[in-house]
A and B are shown apart, each in its own frame.
Chain A
Amino acid sequence: MQHTSRRLVSTATKLNASNSISPSSLSFFPPKEALKPPADSFEKDAFLPTDWAAVQPTPSTALNAFAHRIGLASIFKDTDVIRQACTHESYLPLFRKHHPGKALPKTNKQLAALGNSLMGMFATEWVNGRYPHLPTRVMKSVVTAHVGPPTCESVAREMGASPLLRWHRTPASETEPPVLHADAMASIPRSLTALIYQERSLHVARKFVHAYFISRQVDLRSMLKFTNPKTTLIELTKKFGRETPKSRLLSETGRFSNSPVFVVGIYSGADKLGEGFGASLKMAEYRAAEDSLHRVYLTRRPDDMLQLPTSTFPTGLGDIFQKGPEADYTAPEPVPDSEVLYYSADRSARR
């Protein structure tokens, strides 16, 4: 019972969020197809109000308001461009069914693909510049957290693009995955990024992505997990050419009581790599190894020293392949390779 009521609520919310049809945009209401068809008519399909509402064009006032809301009214003067950005390709079969004679609307498929690549590039260069020692798999997770599909969907909802989205729920086929509301919504910010890149420049698109996506807080510490932090630390110290790490007891209390506390430090020679506490020596050692790895991997470059490679693209309007004035950029000093990959006799790099 709870499941069905929750589903009804979500369906009702989606219906409410879907295009609110303004009477000014309709020439005739109620639509002819809603009225009872004559007995000898060819059309036997039942009239679905939800489908009819989904097929109605979005009023340009709503699109204009959206452009102003996200602060890009100066770029998107033509509302058709925003309409294209909010039209998912799953909408075409529905449109063709209801308006067989009309020209198909433009969809955001190519724009979304271009925008996705741009967003990935901006996020990757920023994460890599900010955390130069982060392992590759963690860097990828952080990039996904910043510009991945769930974040894009969140941002689209926060922007208020839900009533403007034109899409149609498509079940999974043999060749294509299913199209859900989240997938369709996620295509909107990607298309907007691509449009800004096309209308203005790469730098403006980067500014947009930084404002809406890179500014979001992501917890890195929870993404750093190790199957065996002690062996990882041993490999890491070998890479840096230091002595093998050794665990030393810094302090302890209540060893033979029911609540002991041990503080263990891991030392490479005389240098303390990390410290950890625990209810047992093993636990404290484990946490000390994790702390040592965190101190290396979570080393952050200060924001004023951050240099983004996309600054080398020309700043003015126009093609990025033409020479133009570039922003200031100093290549950062190469950092030592601190990524640990485990190899075994019969398989390739596995973490």
Chain B
Amino acid sequence: MHTTRPLSFVATISRSAPKYRRPRPGTAERPPYRAGDPLVGNPKAKVTKLVEGAPELGQPELTFIHRPPPSAPSPFSLTTSPASPLLVPKNDSTTTRLPPLIRPIKSVHSEQTASGAGAASSMPPRMSDADLEKLQELRRSDPFKYSRAKLAEMFNCTPAFVGMVAPLTKSQCKSTHKVLGEKHERSRDKWSEKHSIVMAIRKKRKELW
């Protein structure tokens, strides 16, 4: 026994009728990608209304939208208007919000986080003289066992700092590089052909950076 209620029937159909066909089972069918209009809601777009128009009277409105292309800024620079801020007197303005850092600063203490604050706040404390002497002695004793990375971890500093304060002599450098070079050469010989090709491609790409 059906009650004839055509209006409610139509509403049910429009609500349950899907926009896209059911994807065939066993396939990766997806709805087609439709890109949004980049001019709508774009913060960089400059919108100028040329003709107000009256839509109810059939007169369409006319809007001119200019969105400058997102190309790289030109490095063309003159001494009268240099492109680099280094050649211009420094202006102290800390109000601008800066984009996020690529690599967040490794903070020593847990309360200091990389919030865009200066590097000084997250640098480790200055190393004591005793620690420094101990570091130098260890490095001198066995450069292979006490490598820069290991010492950096032990003394809570960077490997670059270890290289600066405890440099090896020229002969030590040569012998270390020779031994490590041979070690790396042996690992490279173990690579499969495909891996070697991939690494060679990466090396070539890096040359063309």
Write the residues of chain A forming the contact surface with B, with a CB cutoff of 8 angstroms: 132-133, 236-237, 240, 242-244, 246-251, 263-265, 267-278, 281, 283, 285-287, 291-292, 294-296, 298-302, 305, 336, 338, 345-346
Q: How far is the CB of B186 from chain A (nearest CB, A)?
A: 26
Complex: A294 Cα to B94 Cα, angstroms = 26
Kindly identify which residue among B87, B94, B167 contacts A299, using a CB–CB cutoff of 8 Å.
B87
Known: A271-B85, A273-B86, A305-B80. A298 touches B98 (CB 8 A): no
Contact A300 B78 (CB under 8 A): yes
Q: How far is the CB of A162 from chain B (nearest CB, A)?
A: 39
Digitize B112-135: 1 where CB-to-A-CB distance is under 8 Å, 0 elsewhere: 000000110000000000000000
List the B side residues contacting A264 at CB < 8 Å. 102
Complex: A296 Cα to B90 Cα, angstroms = 15
List the A side residues contacting B94 at CB < 8 Å. 270
Q: How far is the CB of B88 from chain A (nearest CB, A)?
A: 8
Q: How far is the CB of B28 from chain A (nearest CB, A)?
A: 16
Complex: A244 Cα to B100 Cα, angstroms = 16
**In the complex, what residue of chain B is closest to A243 when comparing beta carbons?**
B118
Complex: A292 Cα to B72 Cα, angstroms = 12
Q: How far is the CB of B122 from chain A (nearest CB, A)?
A: 12
Complex: A190 Cα to B82 Cα, angstroms = 36
Contact A132 B209 (CB under 8 A): no
Give how many B residues have a beta carbon under 8 Å from the other chain's beta carbons.
30
Kindly identify which residue among B86, B119, B209 contacts A242, using a CB–CB cutoff of 8 Å.
B86
Known: A242-B86, A273-B84, A295-B84. A249 touches B100 (CB 8 A): yes
Contact B77 A248 (CB under 8 A): no
List the B side residues contacting A286 at CB < 8 Å. 209
Write the residues of chain B forming the contact surface with A, with a CB cutoff of 8 angstroms: 70, 72-73, 75, 77-80, 82-87, 90, 93-94, 96, 98-103, 118-119, 167, 170, 206, 209
Contact B80 A302 (CB under 8 A): yes
List the B side residues contacting A133 at CB < 8 Å. 87
Enumerate the 8 nearest inter-chain pairs by beta-carbon distance, A residue then B residue, closest first.
A271-B85, A295-B84, A248-B99, A295-B83, A299-B77, A247-B102, A301-B79, A296-B84
Contact A272 B79 (CB under 8 A): no
| Residue among B70, B73, B75, B87 with max Cβ neighbours from chain A (10 Å) | B75
List the B side residues contacting A336 at CB < 8 Å. 87
Known: A244-B119, A246-B101, A270-B98. A291 touches B86 (CB 8 A): no
Contact B102 A248 (CB under 8 A): yes
